[in-house]
Amino acid sequence: MKGTRVMITGATNGIGLQLADTLLSMGATVYGTGRSSGKLQAIAESMAGRSGTFVPLLADHSDLSSVSAMLSSLSSHTDVLDIVVNNAGIHYGLPMQSMHKDTRSATNGMDTLFVTNYLSHVLITEKVLPMLNRSKMEKPRVVQVSSTYHWISDGSLLRPNGPLPPFASRGSELEKPFRQMHLSYGDSKLAQLLHMHAVNRMLEEESSKVAVVAFCPAWVGTGIQPEGVARQVTHALAHQPEQGIHALLHAALHPDISRGDFVGNTNVVSYLPFKEHWLISPFQFQGFHLRDNLIDTFAMLMMFVQKFNFGAFVQETSPESKDQELQDALHKWSLRAVSEWL
């Protein structure tokens, strides 16, 4: 990895931090983003003894102007990248919590989670493609850290509606009183896959060697689980970040991984029968999305099973992720949304 230049978003905790640590031990130069200058500084100091170099990049991914400033700073360090890992992400909380408390929020009028998980990475990907094209690697790539939870989104809230932006992107709480916190996450993770396919088709036309691929860690005990019992349970039962990056390294480095592959530490979900029917059903009881809690109960079971089905698997993605018309509609809208910074 000596001489390999890797950008990792959200490198200050969990999966991103573990990946940075591992790649630095292997000699890579890691450009790591984070929203806390204190955390970035502490990581730079603690990684100083590694054979690679850590370059801290301050960016709040919920704010596109902050991401744009970070990209300017990146270009003062390098004009070539080999691998970009779009990892920074948040979750609004457990479905059960949404019965009592809505933790969704808006930044600059847009949904904070949508911008953090998806739109900030659209801006980054579109801006760094020329840097990846200059790589000497045989297959430079972008890895979208997505999730199996993309299966819970039918994509309808990602479709722009005439002049109106996609519902999932809107920051006004009042506009979407029925939306569950969990579905916001699924929408953002499906959006990442739709963007991957749209960019890949463009790269194909340009005969570029760059590939966009995706990854799902399955359950890994990190900072994304809400504090309290949920975090304690997950941290006790799920994989540790060391195991959680197993298939991520495969997605980022293995020569056999192709454009559009969705690589996971487990492929348990691939065995679920008729998942395209029941995972995305809008089943509600008195306005309460019972479906979300059923899915989370099922996902808890997956936490046990993933230990017996661990490796690096190219997994199936939802039918919605392959909808070319939706890919193009969202891509076109997203490019307009970030155009100020392109």
Ligand X SMILES: NC(=O)c1ccc[n+]([C@@H]2O[C@H](COP(=O)([O-])OP(=O)(O)OC[C@H]3O[C@@H](n4cnc5c(N)ncnc54)[C@H](OP(=O)(O)O)[C@@H]3O)[C@@H](O)[C@H]2O)c1
Cβ distance to ligand X smaller for residue 219 or 329 = 219
Give the residue with the Cβ less far from ligand X, 171 or 217: 217
Q: Which is nearer to ligand X, 29 or 222 (CB)?
A: 222
| Cβ atoms of residues 97 and 103 within 8 Å | yes
Does position 251 interact with ligand X (CB under 6 A)? The reply is no
Q: What is the secondary structure of 53-115 as a DSSP string? A: EEEEEE--TT-HHHHHHHHHHHHHH-S--SEEEE--------TGGGGT-----EETTEEHHHI
In order of 165, 194, 242, 336, the CA distances from 158 in angstroms are: 8, 10, 33, 14
Roughly how many angstroms between the first and final C-alpha of the chain, as a whole number?
30
Contact between residue 61 and residue 9 where contact means Cβ atoms under 8 Å apart = yes
Minimum gap (Å) between residue 286 Cβ and ligand X: 30
Structure tokens, 340: 């100020």
- Which of residues 16 and 165 has its CB atom nearest to ligand X in the complex? 16
Should residue 224 be labelled a site residue for ligand X when binding is judged by CB under 6 A? yes
Which residue, 89 or 155, has its beta carbon nearer to ligand X?
89
Q: How far is CA 8 from CA 16, 57, 126, 220, 341, in A?
A: 6, 10, 15, 18, 20
SS3 content of the chain, % helix, strand, coil (to 5): 50, 15, 35
Among 5, 14, 168, 280, interactor with ligand X by CB under 6 A: 14
Give the span between the Cα atoms of 10 and 33, in whole angstroms: 5
Binding to ligand X in span 314-333, by CB under 6 A: none
3-class secondary-structure state, position 164:
strand
Q: Which range of residues in 10-18, 201-209, 256-264, 330-338 is near ligand X by CB under 6 A?
A: 10-18
Q: Does 32 bind ligand X (CB under 6 A)?
A: no
Q: Which of residues 163-182 bind ligand X (CB under 6 A)?
A: none
By CB under 6 A, residue 10 contacts ligand X? yes
Nearest alpha carbon to residue 119 among 335, 326, 342, 340: 335
| C-beta closer to ligand X: residue 47 or 88 | 88
Residue 135 or 267: the one with the smaller Cβ distance to ligand X is 267
User: C-beta of 207: minimal distance to ligand X in Å?
Assistant: 30
Residue ranges in 99-118 that form contacts with ligand X under rule CB under 6 A: 116
Residues 38-97 touching ligand X, rule: CB under 6 A, are 39, 59-62, 87-90
Choosing from 1, 6, 7, 15, the residue that interacts with ligand X (CB under 6 A) is 15
Does residue 217 belong to the site contacting ligand X (CB under 6 A)? Answer: yes
In the complex, what is the shortest distance from the CB of residue 29 to ligand X, in angstroms, rounded to a whole number? 19
Q: Which is nearer to ligand X, 83 or 329 (CB)?
A: 83
What is the full DSSP assignment across 179-190? --HHHHHHHHHH
Per CB under 6 A, the segment of 7-15, 49-57, 264-272, 326-334 that binds ligand X is 7-15
Q: Please choose, from the candidates 204, 200, 193, 199, the residue with its C-alpha nearest in 3D space to the C-alpha of residue 319.
A: 193
Residues that bind ligand X (CB under 6 A): 10, 12-16, 34-36, 39, 59-62, 87-90, 116, 145, 147, 216-217, 219-220, 222-224
